[in-house]
Amino acid sequence: MLKHSVLGVAAGTAVALALAACSAGTTARDTSAHKQKAEQLPQLTIEPGNGLSGVQPGSVITVHAAHGSLHTVHIDGGGQQVRGQLSDNGTTWRSSQRLYMSRHYTVTATAVGADRKTATASSSFSTVKPRGTFQASTIMGFKQQYGVGMPIILNFSHAITRKAAVERAISITSSRPVVGAWYWDGDKTLYFRPRTYWPQHTRVSFDARLNGVEGAPGIYGRHDLSQTFEIGPSLIVSVSTRSHYMHVYYKRRLWHVWPVSTGRPGDDTPNGTYLTIDKGNPVDMIGPGYNIEVPWSVRFTWSGVYIHDAYWSVGEQGITNVSHGCVNTSPAHAEEYYKLAVPGDPVTVSGSPVAGTWDDGWTVWFLSWNKLLQGSPLHDVVLAGPRGSKLTSPSQVAAAHATAPLDRPHARNARAE
């Protein structure tokens, strides 16, 4: 009986696959069979086959030994490490990572058979030369803290048409179990959004293994992308343009109810569940009839809607709407909120006669769960946890019982009222 170790293979280095042999006595009846077996040399098969060109980077290098066990596998791939795994019976080795494009590989393997007879075989092949390449980038900062509404955002340098292949190449790891989905905003931006807000204090990472992935006909990813970030304490704001009050929920409890003043008629603050984008103290705000530096300003739309200190409208806050579209608060309240806010904190505006505009900010929470699922060609659910993620059918996932505003926004939150 043979016992085999499982080892990876480094490019340009022969790695022995250790063998430990045990022997047992034979009887006269198996002497003939043993002799016949001893006369057979090991036979090696290597895929991809010798002389092939245009091999896809996702192809698996397979080395198989018949009438023996693998002893060494040597891969020369221009310096690339090619890791793999040996089968339990020691007869098959398979690579476990993508190959590089425009690269020539030579695989040389040795097998050991009965009576320590050996055989060696090799195969040389070339991977595809792409018509073009794409790369991915992310706005997520390393170990940066984000709010509970923050999606993972990936941007691509080339339009992606084979979107399912890209989605399958990305794994998400989270310290707490999360149910979510991928959503394409056009052909160059990909979001991952949880079904409900992230659990606070969750550690998240993603690994986009895009090197060699064909994102469009003849267009391949040229590198991998990974990042790690954190979800901070839950900070959620709900603003009513009708009541003129803002409810602030911190660490999953109602923390404050503050009087505010939102956009006056004609400059109405639009409905929707937005996410905080950035902040400044002060921010220079310019518009019709004004140019002023505004303290303690937290932005949640690209068009320039902020929650900010409005010392000039304290008398109207809680009573009427007088702003140019922003959410006015008192200096003390604005400072308190500003010091806690990070990108990705949810801000829901309701009661407005004006609907929210898609892409005016990070507006992925405008979407219902069903709409979110429709934004992926796979229409699958992503189940992420401490051991990575997997794709599954929505029918295999239990219904969510989360409630607004602490776990998710109200339905149809971006519609005019």
| pLDDT, position 29 | 52
From CA 57, how far away is CA 41, in angstroms rounded? 33
Lowest mean pLDDT among 34-38, 140-144, 198-202: 34-38
Q: Contact at 8 Å (CB) between 71 and 17? A: yes
165: left (phi > 0), else alpha (psi -120 to 50), else beta? alpha
263 DSSP assignment? B
270 and 169 in one domain?
A: yes
138 and 66 in one domain?
A: no
174 and 120 in one domain?
A: no
From CA 392, how far away is CA 411, in angstroms rounded? 24
Name the band, by pLDDT with cuts 50, 70 and 90, for residue 35. Answer: low
Mean pLDDT value of segment 78-106: 93
Residue where a domain stops, chosen among 126, 150, 185: 126
146 and 52 in one domain?
A: no
243 and 195 in one domain?
A: yes
Joined tokens for residue 145 = 């803290």
- In 10 A of CB 266, how many CB atoms? 8
- In 10 A of CB 117, how many CB atoms? 15
410 and 356 in one domain?
A: yes
The catalytic residue positions are 308, 326
The pTM for the full model equals: 0.87
- Shortest CA distance to 338 belongs to which of 199, 235, 198, 201? 235
From CA 234, how far away is CA 12, in angstroms rounded? 50
DSSP-based three-state secondary structure for 176:
coil
pLDDT score of 8 more than 90: no
pLDDT score of 334 more than 90: yes
Residue-range definition of the domain harbouring residue 39? 2-126
Mean pLDDT value of segment 391-397: 97
217 and 163 in one domain?
A: yes
DSSP-based three-state secondary structure for 372:
helix
Q: What percent of the chain has pLDDT over 70?
A: 91
Name the band, by pLDDT with cuts 50, 70 and 90, for residue 34. Answer: low
DSSP-based three-state secondary structure for 366:
helix
275 and 143 in one domain?
A: yes
- In 10 A of CB 231, how many CB atoms? 26
Q: What percent of the chain has pLDDT over 90?
A: 87
141 and 116 in one domain?
A: no
- Shortest CA distance to 102 belongs to which of 86, 80, 85? 80
From CA 250, how far away is CA 237, in angstroms rounded? 9
377 backbone dihedrals φ, ψ, rounded to 5°: -65, -20
206 DSSP assignment? E
339 and 232 in one domain?
A: yes
Residue where a domain stops, chosen among 79, 98, 126: 126
Q: What is the distance of C-alpha 36 from the center of its chain?
A: 55
Mean pLDDT value of segment 135-140: 98
Name the band, by pLDDT with cuts 50, 70 and 90, for residue 2. Answer: very low
The mean pLDDT of the chain is 92
Q: Please enumerate in sequence order all residues whose Cβ is within 8 A of that of 184, keeping only pairs 6 or more positions apart, or say none.
A: 160, 163, 190, 191, 375, 376, 377
95 and 202 in one domain?
A: no
- In 10 A of CB 128, how many CB atoms? 19
Q: Contact at 8 Å (CB) between 153 and 191? A: yes
Residue where a domain stops, chosen among 126, 159, 187: 126
Q: What is the CATH number of the domain that holds 185?
A: 2.40.440.10
281 and 359 in one domain?
A: yes
Count structural domains, the chain.
2
pLDDT score of 1 more than 50: no
Q: What is the CATH number of the domain that holds 64?
A: 2.60.40.3780
| Cis ω before 194 (30° cut-off from 0) | no
| pLDDT, position 28 | 47
116: left (phi > 0), else alpha (psi -120 to 50), else beta? left
